[in-house]
Structure 1
């Protein structure tokens, strides 16, 4: 994970040094364990490794999404959504073996990117089969549906790093409407 974050840091340092300078340091083992205790989960190793490199990524919209949450933001978002855990789905959906379809929200869906409209990108710790644990899913508040993104956070961040390296991102020095950090905003090119 350190090599992957080094790739991301290299490109951000070239295109927007201010964002690179503002990237938070990694979380400690104690901070990770505290968030796991709040949510009652053990995060996959790739998630733990990523957060040991950087505790969030402000000012950077990853893909068509938003910025990577800090651990505190992750726990706060999870707490807000936990009240809906286990609710039945709004409609009948056939089980597909990829994402649980018998519920509208699971306490095992750990949000790590908020879209801003109620949608979130999650680490799925409650998949229908054990081998899918840790996959990344995109959950939509419209119809309370989720769709598969990648096999895990590593693959998700590898796609982001590859897009950065392929010059698919641009910088909005004003920070844009998405940024409340005062930082320039890094986003996909139109």
Structure 2
């Protein structure tokens, strides 16, 4: 069976630098009827477990470690024992949520296999030091976390973020992908590489 992509929208809060905001997150589940992975276990462990159902959960893969993207990991792990995976450059953020829990590392170029489908880890720092995207070429899809949205790059106005770095990441590692690649974002609607690429100069001029 060919891998499919399921989307679950969960709601909760994001906290950093002394502020807290309400928001909705996209949780992405990639797999078939037998096995799957979760990309960004956000807010609602019960809803994520229901979406996984009886499938074998091979891992929980984090695009970055802001609390809204990892807050449901412990709840999902309590019933599945699935390992969490995160780029180690985001350990400082991980520790604010899970000071006593470990994760396994992700590295640029690493390959993830699920349901006969391969995803490539692309390190895209800027929104956070360890931000990554997951590129599934066979599905024509990029899971961009908070690095690239419909309408531009992710926010860089808070701790551990940097605007020139996110622009470099997007320019050199994402806009080089095929224009038809569907960008499945961490929040809000999807887009494509071809839709976002022409606006690069406008993003730079606008800054963060």
Decide which structure has greater strand share: 2
Q: Which has the higher contact order (CA 8 A, sep 6+)?
A: 1
Q: Structure 2-normalised TM-score?
A: 0.28
Q: Structure 1-normalised TM-score?
A: 0.30
Decide which structure has greater helix share: 1
